Amino acid sequence: MLPDHQLLRIPGPSPIPPSVQRAMSQQMIGHRGQETKDLLQRIKPKLMPIFGTEQEVMIIAGSGTAGLETAVVNAVNPDDEVLVIVTGSFGERFAKLCSEYRIQTHRLDIEWGKSVSPESVERYLRQHPSIKAVFSTYCETSTGVLNPIEELAQVVHHNSNALFIVDGVSCVGGVESKMDEWGVDILITGSQKAMMLPAGLTFVAASNRAWKVIAANKRPRFYLDLKKYQITLAKDSTPFTPALSLLFGLEQVLKLMEEEGLEQVYARHQLMKNMTRAAFQAHGIPLLTSDTSASPTVTAIKPADFPAEELRRIIKKEFGLSIAGGQQHLEGEIFRIGHMGYCSPADVLQIIGIIEIGLQKIGKAIDLGKGIRAAQKVYIG
Amino acid sequence: MLPDHQLLRIPGPSPIPPSVQRAMSQQMIGHRGQETKDLLQRIKPKLMPIFGTEQEVMIIAGSGTAGLETAVVNAVNPDDEVLVIVTGSFGERFAKLCSEYRIQTHRLDIEWGKSVSPESVERYLRQHPSIKAVFSTYCETSTGVLNPIEELAQVVHHNSNALFIVDGVSCVGGVESKMDEWGVDILITGSQKAMMLPAGLTFVAASNRAWKVIAANKRPRFYLDLKKYQITLAKDSTPFTPALSLLFGLEQVLKLMEEEGLEQVYARHQLMKNMTRAAFQAHGIPLLTSDTSASPTVTAIKPADFPAEELRRIIKKEFGLSIAGGQQHLEGEIFRIGHMGYCSPADVLQIIGIIEIGLQKIGKAIDLGKGIRAAQKVYIG
C-alpha cells in the first residue's frame, strides 16, 4: 500500500482542507487582544447563513456533546417535561442527557434506519400537552437518516408551546438549515463533520423564544451557560479561553464555503448522496434508508449476502480507505460511508471503485465498474 | 516593524513550538480506530509524571474553566460546605463556580499579590470543621503568585477530612507538581500555558480519596462526568469526540518535555523567573510579589513612576512584544510577563532589552542594559 495515503470516509471526523491546515498552524495571539476580536467579528456573520438564522451563533470549546448538553441545561427548566425523538444513537444521547439531569423524559422511539413521521410527533404532543421541549436529531449519524426538520417544527409549534431543539452535528454546513424560517428554537453543530475542521468546537444558535426561556431558567450552569457566550460575543469576545487554532481554521473554512457558495455546497452533498446510493442500487446491494429519508452527508448500507466487517477490513488494508461500521444492535449489520465536508463527487467515484474491488476480493461475484457507471450517470445527469 | 514578527509573552496563550505545529497539522484519523487508541496509550504514561501522580490524567476537550467546573460538579456533593482560597481572579472563578452551583461557599480572601499562609487556612478549617473541600490556585495568573501547595495540602489533611482541589492551569508543566506525595486530591491544568499547545484541552487527575467521593456523588453531570473519562481512558479511548489535532500536538509536546527532562524544564522556569526579577530589581522597579511567593511562569511588575499601559502600547507597536496588563482593580496598576512553556532564558534577555528601550521612550530615565546585565549574571551564576 502507498505509504502516508489514507482515505478517511467515515461520518466524522472528515478530512481537513490543506488551506485550513495552514490557517490552523498560525502562531498563537493574545485571545483578549484586538486581533482576536477582529477574528471573531469576521467569523460571526459568516456562521449565521449556515444556520439560516439572524441570531448570533455561539462558539464553545468542546465536543458536539457539550453542545447538546448546552441546549439541555440552558433551555430545560428543572420541572419541565420533554420529548426526545430517538431515531438512532444520537437521539439516545439526548435522552441520556435529559435523564442524567433527572428531567421527566418522554421517548418517541423510531426503528433505526427510518425517519420520524411528523404525524407521530403530532399525535404524541396532543396526548401530552405539558411537554415543554422536543429534541430531534437532524442527520442521525448512526443510520444515515435525515429527519424532516421543517415539517417537525411545524407540528411542534401547531400542537404545543414547546421549544424545538435540533442536533445538526453531522449535517449542518452540508445540508440546508433554515432555522428562523422553519422555527427551530435551538440548533447545534460540531466542527469535525461538514464544517471541515478537527473536533473541538461546538456551535449553538437560539431563537428569541429560546433566549427568553434561557434567561428565566434557574438551573445551575457555568461553562455551558449560553448567556455568558451571548454577552461576550456581542463584544466580539468569549467568556472563557477560546480554542484559537480552531478559530483560525474556522475563518478559512468559512471562506472556502463562501467561495463555493452555500447553495453549491448543499447541491454537492445531494449529488454525492445520489451517486453513492445509485452505485449500490446498481449492484442490488440493499441500503438501510429509503431515498426520501436518506442524509446527504452519510449513507448506510445493509448487505444481505456478504460480511460488512470483512469488506471494511480489506479496503482499509489494501487502500487505506476507512469507512464506518454499525453501532449498537447494527454492529456488523451495516457499513456507513461519510461523504461530507471536504469530499467531492470524484471522491465518491474512488470510494465506489475501491469497494467494488473489495467485494470481489471477499468473494462476492459482482460486475466490476457497474456501480461506478451508475454514479457517473447520476453526475452527468 | 519587521512584518510577521510577533513576540507573545503574556501568561497564556504561550507560543507553539514548530515541531508541535507540524504535529497538529497531521491529517485526521478515525477517533474510534486503533491509531487513536495507540496515540492515547502513548500519551497517558507521559502525562502522569507532569502531575506527579500514579493516577491516570483525564483529557477533556474544553478550556481550563471546564476543568475547574469538572472538579466542582464531580467532587462536591449538593449539600457540602467548601472553602475557596481567593488570591486573585482565578480564585474568584472557583468561588463563582461554587456559588453558581449553590454550594455553601466560604471564602478566604488574600490581598492580591500575596500568597496564602498555611496557618490562615489551618485556623479557618479549625473554626469550620464541616468543610468538605478546599479549593486553591497553584499559580495565580492575575498576580504571578505561586501558592505553597505542599504546605497547604498538609494543613488541609491535618485539620479536616476535606478534599484539596488545585487549579494548576498556569503552571503545571513548568513547575514541579507532586500530586500524590503532597496529597493533592484533584489537580487541573490547561493546554495553552506551560503545556505549549493552543487552548482547547483541559487535564484533570484525581486521588483515590477523590475518586471515592466522585463515585458516590449524585450531582447530575454528563459532558464533565469524570467517571465517563476514567472508564473510557482505561480502554485508551474517550467518552466523547476528542480534539484530535490537539492530541497530535500533545504527543509532540510530551516528547519535547521528555527530551529536555522534567527536572530541567522546571529549572529553566526557575531561572527565567530569577532573571526577570533581577532585571527589574536592578532598575529599582517594584515587583508585585515577594521572592518567596513569586511564580516561575509569570512575573507581575507594579511600576511606581511610569504608566504600565503606555509601556505595553509602545513595545507592542515598535517590537510586536505583547505582555499583559492587570485584571480587575489592578488594571493599569501592573503589567505581567509570561515566561512559560516555549520560552528560554535568551527570550527573557530579549524581553528585558525591549522593555528597557520602551521605558526610555516613554520618558523614564533608565540606565540601558542594566537590567540585562543583572539577568545575565543570574544566568551565569
B62–A62 CB contact, under 8 Å: yes
B244–A21 CB contact, under 8 Å: no
A192/B contact by beta carbon, under 8 A: yes
Span B334-363, mean pLDDT?
A: 96
B222–A25 CB contact, under 8 Å: no
Residues A341/A191, Cβ–Cβ less than 8 Å: no
Which residues from chain B sit within 8 angstroms of residue A250, using beta carbons? none
Chain B 147-166, CB below 8 Å of chain A: which residues? none
Which residues from chain A sit within 8 angstroms of residue B101, using beta carbons? 220, 222
Which residues from chain B sit within 8 angstroms of residue A101, using beta carbons? 220, 222
Q: Say yes or no to pLDDT of B1 above 80.
A: no
pLDDT-based confidence at residue A4 (cuts at 50, 70, 90): confident
The C-alpha angle A88, A10, A116, rounded to 5 degrees, equals 25
Which residue in the set A63, A198, A242 is minimally distant from B245, CB to CB?
A198
A25/B contact by beta carbon, under 8 A: yes
Dihedral, A114, A119, A121, A126 alpha carbons, nearest 10:
-160
Give me the residues paired with residue B205 across strands: B187
Q: What is the pLDDT of residues B286-342, one digit of tens each?
A: 999 999 999 999 999 999 999 999 999 999 999 999 999 999 999 999 999 999 999
Residues A317/A6, Cβ–Cβ less than 8 Å: no
Q: What is the pLDDT of residues A82-97, one digit of tens each?
A: 999 999 999 999 999 9
Span B67-72, mean pLDDT?
A: 98
Which residues from chain A sit within 8 angstroms of residue B64, using beta carbons? 240-241
Chain A 223-262, CB below 8 Å of chain B: which residues? 223-225, 240-246
Three cell numbers written together for A5: 495515503
A21/B contact by beta carbon, under 8 A: yes
Q: What is the pLDDT of residues A284-302, one digit of tens each?
A: 999 999 999 999 999 999 9
B13–A244 CB contact, under 8 Å: yes
Which residues from chain A sit within 8 angstroms of residue B220, using beta carbons? 100-102
- State the best of A28, A105, A317 to mutate against chain B, taking most chain B CBs within 10 Å: A28
Residues B296/B266, Cβ–Cβ less than 8 Å: yes
- Measure the CA–CA gap between A177 and A165, rounded to whole angstroms: 13
pLDDT at A157 (0 to 100): 98
**What is the DSSP secondary-structure string of B141-163?**
TTTTEE--HHHHHHHHHHH---E
Burial class (CB in 10 A: 0-12, 13-18, 19+), B28: buried
Q: What is the pLDDT of residues A310-342, one digit of tens each?
A: 999 999 999 999 999 999 999 999 999 999 999
- Measure the CA–CA gap between B266 and B268, rounded to whole angstroms: 5
Three cell numbers written together for B217: 456523588
Three cell numbers written together for A135: 429534541
Task: State the greatest distance between any 2 C-alpha atoms of chain B, in Å, as a whole number.
Answer: 63
pTM: 0.94
Residues A272/A311, Cβ–Cβ less than 8 Å: no
A13–B30 CB contact, under 8 Å: yes
Q: Say yes or no to pLDDT of B174 above 80.
A: yes
Nearest chain B residue to A15, by CA: B28
**What is the DSSP secondary-structure string of B24-62?**
HTSPP--TTSHHHHHHHHHHHHHHHHHHT-SSPPEEEES
Q: How many CB atoms lie within 10 A of CB A161?
A: 11
The C-alpha angle A67, A68, A70, rounded to 5 degrees, equals 60
Residues A310/A362, Cβ–Cβ less than 8 Å: yes
The one-character DSSP state at A157 is H
Which residues from chain A sit within 8 angstroms of residue B224, using beta carbons? 223
B28–A15 CB contact, under 8 Å: yes
Span B223-243, mean pLDDT?
A: 98
What are the residue ranges of CATH 3.90.1150.10 in chain A?
7-14+261-380
Q: What is the pLDDT of residues A341-356, one digit of tens each?
A: 999 999 999 999 999 9
A61–B199 CB contact, under 8 Å: yes
B69–A223 CB contact, under 8 Å: yes
A242–B69 CB contact, under 8 Å: no
**Is 3.90.1150.10 the CATH number for A7-14+261-380?**
yes
- Taking CA atoms, B66 is separated from A107, A248, B162, B165, in Å, by 30, 21, 22, 14
Domain formed by A18-258, architecture? 3-Layer(aba) Sandwich (3.40)
- Measure the CA–CA gap between B326 and B287, rounded to whole angstroms: 13
Q: What is the ipTM for the molecules in this complex?
A: 0.90
Our measurement of the distance from residue B103's CA atom to the centroid of its chain's CA atoms, rounded to an integer in Å, reads 25
Name the percent of chain B lying above pLDDT 70.
Answer: 100
Is A9 one of the annotated binding-site residues? no
CA distance A62 to chain B (A): 5
Which residue in the set A10, A22, A223 is minimally distant from B65, CB to CB?
A223
pLDDT-based confidence at residue A1 (cuts at 50, 70, 90): confident
SS3 for B57-68 is CEEEECCHHHHH
H helices of chain B, in order, are 18-24, 34-51, 64-75, 89-100, 118-127, 149-159, 179-182, 208-216, 226-233, 244-260, 262-282, 308-319, 345-361, 370-380
Which H or E run includes A67? helix A64-75
Nearest chain A residue to B70, by CA: A223
Name the percent of chain B lying above pLDDT 90.
Answer: 98
SS3 for A104-140 is EEEEEECCCCCCCCHHHHHHHHHHCCCEEEEEEECEE
- Measure the CA–CA gap between A84 and A108, rounded to whole angstroms: 6
Nearest chain A residue to B26, by CA: A21
- Measure the CA–CA gap between A325 and A331, rounded to whole angstroms: 6
Number of A to B CB contacts under 8 A, please give it. Answer: 165
Cis check: omega of the bond before A13, within 30 degrees of 0: yes
Residues A84/A98, Cβ–Cβ less than 8 Å: yes
| Lookup result for grid cell 434567561 | A215
B27–A12 CB contact, under 8 Å: no
pLDDT-based confidence at residue B22 (cuts at 50, 70, 90): very high
B241–A190 CB contact, under 8 Å: yes
- Buried/exposed A63-75: b ≥16 CB within 10 Å, e otherwise: bbbbbbbbbbbbb
CA distance B350 to chain A (A): 18
